[in-house]
Amino acid sequence: MRRVFPGVLLAILLYAGFSSIGPLPPIGPLLDPANGVWASAAAVNFPARQLAKIPGLKDSVLVLIDDRGVPHVFASNDDDAWRALGFVVARDRLFQMEAQTRAASGRLTEWAGERALETDRESRALGLAWGAEKKAAAYDRSSPAWLAMQAYADGVNAWITSMRPRDLPLEYRLLNARPIKWEPVHSFLFLARMTLTLGLNDAATKRLNAQSHVGKAAADALFPVNSPIQEPIQPNGQAAARFDFGVLPAPGPPDSQAVLARDARRDLLVALRPPEKSEPSDAVGSNNWAVAPSRSSTRNAILAGDPHLDLTLPSVWYEMHIVVPGKLDAAGVGFPGMPGVVIGFNRDVAWTFTNTGSDVNDFYAEKVDHDSRPTRYQVDGQWRNLEKRVETYRGPGGAVLATDTLYFTHRGPMRKLLGKWLSMRWTAYEPSREPDNFLALSRTKSVNEWLYAMRDYVAPTQNGLVADRSGNIAIRSSGSYPIRPGDGRGDVIRDGSRSSNDWAGFLPVEKFPFSMNPAQGFLASANQQPVDPRQNPAYMGSSWYSPWRAMRINALLRSDSSVTPDDMRMYQTDPGSARADLFVPLFLDAARRRDSLGKGEPRLREAAALLREWDRKYVRDNRRAVLFEAAMRELNVRTWDELVDSTAIGARGITALMPETQMLLWLSRSASSTWWDNRHTREVEDRDAILASSLVAGLDSVLASNGKPDSDEWLWSNRRKANIRHLLRIPALGAFGVSLQGGPGTMNPSSGEGTQGASWRMVVELGPEIRAWSIYPGGQSGAPASTRYTDRLSQWSAGQLDPVLFPRTPSELDRRRIISTLVLKSR
């Protein structure tokens, strides 16, 4: 036995060293201190001076990394700049770049095996890779963006080729994988993924779901095409929001016809991507705003960008500064995987975006030649061939895990659901040149040039805000808005066998929501309905976010005619809430009226007294916002009991299909609407009864979970936190419990899960010299061991911004701020 033991142990050690055991990667290369994770940690700090080679460079490129981890790329020509950028971004974010494109192309199983199969099936069924490959194949090979993407890919591949074993990112080691070669199509895949995040919505599913419960009239009213509170992006000449509250139709009988349509659509959407939680959108959303010189303390235009997205580590953004003398000098953030600054500024112009959220995807019921194995589909009595694509899913070892046959009509991917073949047309599949649009922005010298560069932008539709050094400010909701036949609405399933149901084109750019240098002296957007239907009734979408953030930022901007850059910064985390300002009085008035009628109870008086103590600010140290939010949750559930959807599981066991919160405000104008009555009780409740019972129930739930009202458990800082997950959802690589200022409907909204939030905050003052400040949650490095992985998190949490370094030449950059100098040469 003593003789055998060393041999057995050696065999075990060699096996564990070479092979994965369960989820554990091979421990040999992992723990090897010369080439494994420890060496990898040693390599995350850049050397003070470094020389590297990128084949194909025409000239040498100087990259100065400042103490915020931002690369300042100084190149003599565009091609070299993009090569260098690809190299440095890959050095910092290689795993993220590949992970995002794998997610889009449905190739995560090659890393994670069966666990990722369903996710991959969804991505491929959605046609993301199909669309991206189609776009890449058709893209103009001589366009600046294609050349940039090619050069960028060369830079990425130069880094991959030059990587030492120790440079392999931790995630690859954990997955026992190696990086793939980067190609321009990967940039298109990333864009497709982003378009999925921002540009695929289906308000019609909600409306049909509601219709199945309460009939068409009520459903149409609860999920309206036009927002009942009008505070549009394109100023409508009003000094405050307009409340278009008519009479809300009473709930009708369930519509059995809608059930089938609802299920078809819901299943389709569920098949395409995970179901969203059914809750009002008050907890998410992006903001941007700008003031003209007339309302700025410095008499220069000032612009603020504040896009909100899923919070991830590494961040979705990468900060950069690119200089090609005489041609390009732009700073800001771009996406790892795409060349160029997407949100940022140059010497003359600053720009940013919020999501428009318009309806740009439609469904068609197709007539096919064979119910289970179709080869053709019919349009206007003629059979057309279906495009067929066999998708193969492979595991980490290359073994085939599954295959799917996907079908495509001229509209897009087609799937069979509940006995029907449905195809989807989506602007994300349309020919487009977004990479050129984004790239051109950095070279514009005025607002007008910037708007021109965005004239043919397609998807996802974006509220692009721009300001220039001449004091101009403008906003336009850019993108392709389909022109549909008939009533123009896109929230119905159309008959695919008639070409007359196809899109008839797209809105011309002149019809886009737009404003430039308005009399009010400022512009803002916060995902609200972009244009007042009284000014432009064209259908652009429906079920718009409640405009609480738009109302708040507009109120702040209207009240201050001498805005400073620091004011702009503070607005980004402003704790005030138009939503709370409107709903708190409703609760308090209901309690008072109930009391005066002798229907008050001690609990209600106690709850009202506590709520009255709140100044309606979601600051960290207040102890009453938690009560208000609990009461609002109860109010939603109790009011919309008619819409209870027992198929959607939520925190309370069932989740109401909740309309936007603005609908509650509409309903509050009617004290005795039948909507208020809770069908599950014998008595007939009115508005005040529901408001009062919601407040009391809210108090009870907070007391039960948080203890006495003066305890620290009531502190808002204990209730709302940002939870930033790593891309692989490994908790140890994420950052959790990051405290925040703000709450639902505020400028810094946060969901209960805290997984969404401000992905980038920026303020730019467009004076004779550009001054800019910025922050994002995370850090420039994608290496979890690096101190630059989360070095910006505390600043971000505190609502602070870092001054951005924006040197014209290498010598303008303060030497003390440079942590590394990288010289890139071709040989």
Partner 1 sequence: MMLRSVVKAVLLAEAFAVATFALGWWSVPIVAVLYAAASKRRYPARFAGLCAAGGWGALLLLDFAKGPVANMGTRLGGVMGVPPAVLFVLTLLFPALLAWCAATFVPQLRANRATAENPA
Site membership for partner 1, residue 35 (CB under 8 A): yes
According to CB under 8 A, which one of 18, 383, 452, 736 is a site residue for partner 1?
A: 18
Binding mask 158-177 for partner 1 (x = CB under 8 A): -------x----x---x---
Shortest distance (Å) from residue 805 CB to partner 1: 24
Q: What does the CA dihedral 266, 272, 276, 281 come to, rounded to 10 degrees?
A: -100
Angle of the 128-138 helix axis to the 78-105 helix axis, nearest 10: 150
- Candidates 11-19, 453-461, 465-473, 671-679 — which segment interacts with partner 1 by CB under 8 A? 11-19
Helices (H), 139-276: 144-162, 170-175, 184-199, 203-214, 216-222, 256-272
Structural contact between residues 491 and 542, judged by C-beta atoms closer than 8 angstroms = yes
Shortest distance (Å) from residue 28 CB to partner 1: 4
- Closer residue to partner 1, CB minimum distance, 745 or 777: 777
- Closer residue to partner 1, CB minimum distance, 35 or 701: 35
Site membership for partner 1, residue 38 (CB under 8 A): yes
Q: How many residues contact partner 1, by CB under 8 A?
A: 39
Cα torsion 546, 426, 277, 650: sign: positive
- Closer residue to partner 1, CB minimum distance, 170 or 269: 170
Shortest distance (Å) from residue 68 CB to partner 1: 17
Structural contact between residues 580 and 615, judged by C-beta atoms closer than 8 angstroms = no
Take residue 671 and report the two structure tokens written for it.
């004290």
Enumerate residues 6+ apart whose C-beta is below 8 A from 14.
none
- Closer residue to partner 1, CB minimum distance, 32 or 133: 32
Shortest distance (Å) from residue 731 CB to partner 1: 7
Structural contact between residues 356 and 198, judged by C-beta atoms closer than 8 angstroms = no
Q: Which positions from 261 through 320 interact with partner 1, judged by CB under 8 A?
A: none
The 3-state DSSP class for residue 570 equals helix
The closest of 209, 539, 139, 104 to 360, measured between CA atoms, is: 539
Exposed / middle / buried, residue 385 (Cβ in 10 Å: 0-12, 13-18, 19+):
exposed
Check residue 378 and report its DSSP letter: E
Shortest distance (Å) from residue 47 CB to partner 1: 10
- Candidates 88-96, 112-120, 638-646, 724-732 — which segment interacts with partner 1 by CB under 8 A? 724-732
Shortest distance (Å) from residue 73 CB to partner 1: 24
According to CB under 8 A, which one of 787, 808, 812, 825 is a site residue for partner 1?
A: 787
Site membership for partner 1, residue 37 (CB under 8 A): yes
Binding mask 756-785 for partner 1 (x = CB under 8 A): ----------------------------xx
Site membership for partner 1, residue 727 (CB under 8 A): no
Shortest distance (Å) from residue 59 CB to partner 1: 32
- Closer residue to partner 1, CB minimum distance, 15 or 383: 15
- Closer residue to partner 1, CB minimum distance, 382 or 787: 787
Site membership for partner 1, residue 17 (CB under 8 A): yes
| Region label for 617, one of left (φ > 0), alpha (ψ between -120 and 50) or beta (otherwise) | beta
Site membership for partner 1, residue 398 (CB under 8 A): no
Site membership for partner 1, residue 24 (CB under 8 A): yes
Residue type, 301: A
Take residue 197 and report the two structure tokens written for it.
């995040």
Strand partners, 414: 407, 423
Give the CA radius of gyration of the chain: 28
Strand partners, 291: 302, 522
- Distance, CA of 564 to CA of 541 (rounded, Å): 35
- Distance, CA of 373 to CA of 558 (rounded, Å): 61
Site membership for partner 1, residue 45 (CB under 8 A): yes
Under the rule (CB under 8 A), what is the footprint of partner 1?
Answer: 3, 6-7, 9-10, 13-14, 17-18, 24, 27-29, 31-45, 165, 170, 174, 730-733, 784-787
